[in-house]
Amino acid sequence: MKNKKLKSIFLLSILIVVMFMIVNIFSSYFNIKKTVVNSVVNQNIEAAKSIAASMDTETYKLFLRNPVKNDYYYEVKGYLEDAREKNGALHVYTLLVNNPNVSRAMIVAMSAEEKEEFPIGGICTVPEEQVRMAYFGKIFSTNIISDSIYGDYLTVGVPIKDKTDEIIGYLGIDISADIVNNISDKALRSSISSFVFNGLFVILMVAAFFVLQNWYSRELKKEVGDTEDTYQTELQSLVSSVQSLRHDYSNHIQVVHGLLRLGQTDKALEYLSILAKEIHMIKSIALDVNNPGLSVLLQTKKLAAQNHQIQIEFEVVQDSYSTLTTTDLIKILSNLIDNAIDATTELPEQKRKMKIVCKVDAKHYIFEVANTGNPIRDKDKDLIFKSGYSTKKEQHGKLRGQGLFIVKETVSRYGGEIAITSDNNQTIARVTIPINKGN
């Protein structure tokens, strides 16, 4: 069910990315086309200014006095046709703008393919908005105009001024929409690779997100599993200890009951006195520990030690020990304490002693587990942190030599250190971990 949900989310994300790419392409196409139109318009306005500035305005004024096909007409037309060919325009022509609504084309330079010559004074297709701009002496440009005769084109117009700077007409240039479309298409094609790259990048980012999320979920599950295993182990140890105590005291009750039935009251009282001392030893430890995991661990190990008749002492400073995860804190201490219990039980009961220290200085957490027992030989001190190496006797079905290796690996991840000192009196395992260094 979870995998299906993740696949659905992934497919939905891909669909959104594809839709985003499509919208981006269309949006980019219109933006590119608008940019191209503006570029073409600006370019042709400059061209129109140049053509108008170089035009023989005196000859054109003579034509305007008698607007017919005379020498003045053909002289100006020849100039406009030459300008049209050089500029690659659809049409180059002069306009008469003597009212704010309609403009009239006076001399028009057209391509040879256009058979019908535009009449002198014919009404032009320049929109009324642009005609009004020209009427007030402004430069104008149109959007693409659809014409049933000349096709689709856009127009720019600039004033024609004589030597006295008086506006005597307008110079218009029509640019074919094919030019705009061709430039837009080329620009779009050159941008497709960028669109595809951006789309693939987004897809890869989405995929990477899901991969990282999946990895994090696995790591989190593993971490939770490790924590659960650790707590289960400690809980099983606690249950085993309680069961052992229950079994022992069941036997004790039977002994006391038997002595009383036999009338041996003094021996029964003596036996109960010994039991009372043991019960006093099994009282709960009063520790002010601000870490629930650590508190449970110490309570469990206290009971386990007492079940092995080990005198155990605690020196625990109140602290959350938050630099370490609860899992790692328990890995470190449970392995050290278990090793200490194993070593101590090799001694007679009266010599079995342990001390557990958890304290904090200005820069470090300090954990110490001290125990009586046989000293560690010098030749073993350099080997005990290796995986699989153990100084204990092998037991069937029990994996040895992993405890100190796990502790070493865990402590190293936090930039900490572990040291073992051992003599005939006791063995001390000391761990120091920087407070401000994460793993």
How far is the C-alpha of 372 from the C-alpha of 368, rounded, in Å?
A: 13
Select the more confidently predicted residue: 191 or 183.
183
Stretch 305-323: mean pLDDT: 87
pLDDT bracket for residue 160 (50, 70, 90): very high
> What pLDDT is attached to residue 396?
45
Task: Classify 398 as helix, strand or coil.
Answer: strand
> What pLDDT is attached to residue 439?
46
pLDDT bracket for residue 399 (50, 70, 90): very low
In this predicted structure, the answer to whether residue 105 has a pLDDT above a threshold of 90 is: yes
Stretch 182-211: mean pLDDT: 70
Lowest mean pLDDT among 285-289, 312-316, 330-334, 414-418: 285-289
> What pLDDT is attached to residue 389?
63
How far is the C-alpha of 207 from the C-alpha of 219, rounded, in Å?
A: 18
pLDDT tens-digit series, residues 279-293: 655 554 556 677 888
In this predicted structure, the answer to whether residue 1 has a pLDDT above a threshold of 60 is: no
With a CB cutoff of 8 Å and minimum separation 6, the contacts of 162 are: 57, 58, 61, 168
pLDDT bracket for residue 438 (50, 70, 90): very low
Stretch 31-42: mean pLDDT: 81
Calculate the average pLDDT of the chain. Answer: 81
Return the residue matching tokens 């941008």: 191
pLDDT bracket for residue 231 (50, 70, 90): low
pLDDT tens-digit series, residues 338-380: 989 989 999 999 999 999 999 999 899 999 999 998 888 877 8
Q: How far is CA 230 from CA 218, 300, 387, 402, 404, in A?
A: 18, 12, 19, 15, 16
With a CB cutoff of 8 Å and minimum separation 6, the contacts of 332 are: 324, 367, 407, 410, 411, 431
> What pLDDT is attached to residue 298?
86
- On whether the CB atoms of residues 339 and 312 are closer than 8 A, the answer is no
> What pLDDT is attached to residue 173?
94
Lowest mean pLDDT among 52-61, 114-123, 268-277, 429-438: 268-277
pLDDT bracket for residue 6 (50, 70, 90): low
Beta strands 311-316 and 122-123, pairing class? unpaired
In this predicted structure, the answer to whether residue 146 has a pLDDT above a threshold of 90 is: no
In this predicted structure, the answer to whether residue 141 has a pLDDT above a threshold of 70 is: yes
Stretch 170-185: mean pLDDT: 85
